[in-house]
Structure 1
């Protein structure tokens, strides 16, 4: 991968010093560590976005199902589970 871009950022001197020391202690260039952190951040954000999109699709499908009258009301669900609990209860 070509490294043609330069990324400049401002940060507190103590944070920079601690980061540089940690990178040096792990025998890795600071730029390599920053690239890995950036990749990890991008991957986490993409996963978060994909999960959010998945949930939005599930909610939309559930709303459409309910509007089409395919759902069950609270009392029906409670009655079913009350019957299940009763069947499992010790005699």
Structure 2
């Protein structure tokens, strides 16, 4: 693994409290910070992947609408009413 040094300034009180908290978990501050960095990178990647997926889904919907592949309000309402009724019946028999 190639290693690099990451240097930044932080308030002395925060550094002391952070070091103490890390030690209470039997870890040093660098180990905890590396974990935070890995989590941040993972969350950023997941958010970027979700954003790309969402944009693809929106484009699929736009393309379908532009091609005239639409469902009328009446059809949607009828399906929803049927779903609600089926749910009521299942709940009544449980």
What TM-score range do you get, normalising by the shorter chain? 0.7 to 0.9
How many pairs are equivalent?
88
Matched with 1:19 is 18
Q: How big is the alpha-carbon RMSD for the aligned residues of Structure 1 and Structure 2?
A: 2.0
Matched with 2:56 is 57
Structure 1 stretches of at least 4 aligned residues deviating more than 3 Å after TM superposition: 85-90
Alignment of 1:1-91 (within 5 A): 1-3=1-3, 5-82=4-81, 84=82, 88=86
Taking structure 2 as the reference length, the TM-score comes to 0.80
Taking structure 1 as the reference length, the TM-score comes to 0.82
Unaligned residue ranges in structure 1 (runs of 5+): none
| Residue 57 (structure 1) shift | 0.3
| Residue 33 (structure 1) shift | 1.1
